[in-house]
Chain A
Amino acid sequence: MFDVIFIGLSLSSILLLVALGLAITYGAMGVINMAHGEMVMIGAYVAVLSSIWLGANFLLAIPIAFVVTALFGLVIERLVVRRLYGRLLDTLLATWGISILIQQAVRLEFGLTFFGIHIDGLGPGLQNVTVPSYLQGTVSVAGLEFNGYRAFIIGVTLALTALTWFILYRTSAGVQVRAIIRNPKMAAACGIDVKRVNALTFAFGSGLAGVAGVMMSGFKTVFPDMGATMVVDGFMVVVTGGVGSIFGTILSSGLLGEINALVAIGTNDIIARAVVFAVVIGVILFKPNGLFSYKGR
């Protein structure tokens, strides 16, 4: 039982890293970013490529992936999303297009396949990342066996969630982000440069998704379409938790991850996913604003 809950926690951790970025961009900017899943995918490919080409340590891939995906996020915000604020459905379509572009770019190795050039680690095939030996195996604490890698995922997520919380609630940048989430017009009237803060927030959220990608690459195969399901999972977490509530996002990723793990152990992954969907539908039916929605005026 305990190890099931532990596996659930590690699933929740990945969900949380993906959903935190979505919670902020959706909550603060009213942007549905369908390309968020591709940030997970890019993060995973950064892990693949950096181990092949840089011989880099798995741990080193985490900061590299954060920086690379944050830059991707910044470029997407600057080029496309910025022009679509206040147009929810247009952001959905446009970012969906971007996600397809990114998937194909990876599949076609940025077009180099047409010239007969192949880059190891890219292309339509499946990729694998080997987790360093010190993260494999089990650790036993107080008579309980922990899978080392899953413990590592939970640890990284805890650290990044704490960092995000710190930025949001203890820094001047965080006050600006929270003010924009609650009332963007009044935030601007108080001298906050909403566009600039939004761009940086978007980049930060993308960076978190990139780290989630590195984590996933350690226990799942990496392929160009892997982001598509992640963005759906991410939005389910955000909607269940309540849009605009960071606390709700944390709890609902825990809830959905655990439900997934508990049902999957008893039956199988497919049924577990169906149950998760049913729970989300139930929540939306009875609490349309999510479990921990922000109570406005």
Chain B
Amino acid sequence: MLSIKNLNSYYGRSHVLQGISLEVPAGKITSILGRNGTGKTTFLKTLMALTDRSTGAVVLDGQDISSAQTHQRARAGIAYVPQGREIIPDFTVRENILMGSFARADRKHVVPELVGELFPYLVENFDRQGGLLSGGQQQQLAIARALATGPKLLLLDEPNEGIQPSIVEEIERAIVRLNRELGMTVILVEQNIAFAREASDHFAMMEKGRIVAQGPIPALTDDLVHRHMTV
């Protein structure tokens, strides 16, 4: 699905990602784990070409997107739900979702039916301003916007960070459902080990801009977690 070879990424002069190689299998959830500041977010940003500069090969479904710009990667089928959600506060819920549709191949501006199924609250509040929603609802909105791009691959950056527990469960269910029922490939940056273990098929553990361990989720032992994630 997504094949990454020797990926390096830079902010100005600082060399943040150092030689990342990873195979992301189709139809699976791959969790990226690690402490804060180890480059997990930068990894997702690099996949979207949102850092200053990057080198290395990124191949999506046989299509080499290593030198593609951000909007071309979005149109190639990668959707990004950033940390902090980054919805547009003075756009309505509908406008926020439709923003994603600029990446659709057919350029049709429609809200996918799926959004109504997963997040009924959003559809009931189409004309509210995005900024008036709660943090959890904004997170749902950011996921809905990503779904509106018609993606093959969904990048989720700590989707449950700082969100009220009632909505955390709803979002977790939505992620699992997108994957199990609709076969969507997901790369999930996550701090919550319990959820990562429950939801994902594969993991990659990061430390100082490198991947230090990776494999199927049963290989994520308590020892590994202890060594690379305990503060």
Contact = CB atoms under 8 A, between A and B. Distances in A.
Interface of A: 172, 175-176, 178-179, 182-183, 185-194, 294-297
A178 B131 contact: no
Contacts of B131: 297
Contacts of B71: 188-194
Name the 3 nearest CB pairs between A and B, nearest first: A191-B103, A188-B70, A191-B74
Contacts of A179: 88, 91, 99
Contact of B74 (A175, A176, A189, A297): A189
Contacts of B69: 188
A216 to B, nearest CB: 34
A183 B75 contact: no
B50 interface: yes
A288 B69 CA distance: 35
Contacts of A188: 50, 69-71, 74
The CB with the most chain B CB atoms within 10 A, among A172, A187, A188, is that of A188
A182 B88 contact: yes
Given A172-B109, A185-B50, A185-B70, A190 B91 contact: no
Contact of B90 (A185, A186, A194, A294): A294
Contacts of B75: 191
Contacts of B70: 185, 188-189, 194
The CB with the most chain B CB atoms within 10 A, among A183, A294, A296, is that of A183
Contacts of B74: 188-191
A43 B156 CA distance: 49
Interface in B35-79: 48, 50, 69-71, 74-75, 79
Contacts of B88: 178-179, 182-183, 186
Contacts of A189: 48, 50, 70-71, 74, 79-80, 82
A27 to B, nearest CB: 13
B63 to A, nearest CB: 15
B86 interface: yes
Contacts of B103: 190-191
B119 interface: no
The CB with the most chain B CB atoms within 10 A, among A182, A186, A193, is that of A186
Contacts of A186: 82, 86, 88, 99
Nearest to B81: A189
A295 to B, nearest CB: 8
Nearest to B105: A191
B97 to A, nearest CB: 10
Contacts of B79: 189
B86 A191 contact: no
Contacts of A295: 89
Interface residues of B, number: 27
Contact of B100 (A183, A191, A194, A294): A191
B188 interface: no
Nearest to B104: A191
The CB with the most chain B CB atoms within 10 A, among A178, A191, A194, A296, is that of A191
B139 interface: no
Given A175-B95, A178-B91, A183-B86, A190 B109 contact: no
Contacts of B99: 175, 179, 186-187, 190, 192
16 contacts: A175-B99, A179-B99, A182-B89, A185-B70, A186-B82, A188-B71, A189-B74, A190-B71, A190-B102, A190-B103, A190-B145, A191-B71, A191-B103, A191-B149, A192-B102, A297-B131
B152 to A, nearest CB: 13
A175 B98 CA distance: 9
Interface in B113-138: 131
A297 B50 CA distance: 21
A292 to B, nearest CB: 12
A214 B122 CA distance: 48
Given A175-B95, A186-B86, A189-B80, 15 more contacts: A172-B109, A179-B88, A182-B90, A182-B91, A183-B86, A183-B88, A185-B70, A189-B79, A190-B74, A190-B100, A190-B102, A190-B149, A191-B100, A193-B71, A297-B131
Nearest to A191: B103
B112 to A, nearest CB: 14
Contacts of B82: 186, 189
Given A189-B48, A189-B50, A176 B102 contact: yes
A82 B99 CA distance: 24
Contacts of B90: 182, 294
B65 to A, nearest CB: 13
The CB with the most chain A CB atoms within 10 A, among B74, B99, B103, is that of B99
B16 to A, nearest CB: 16
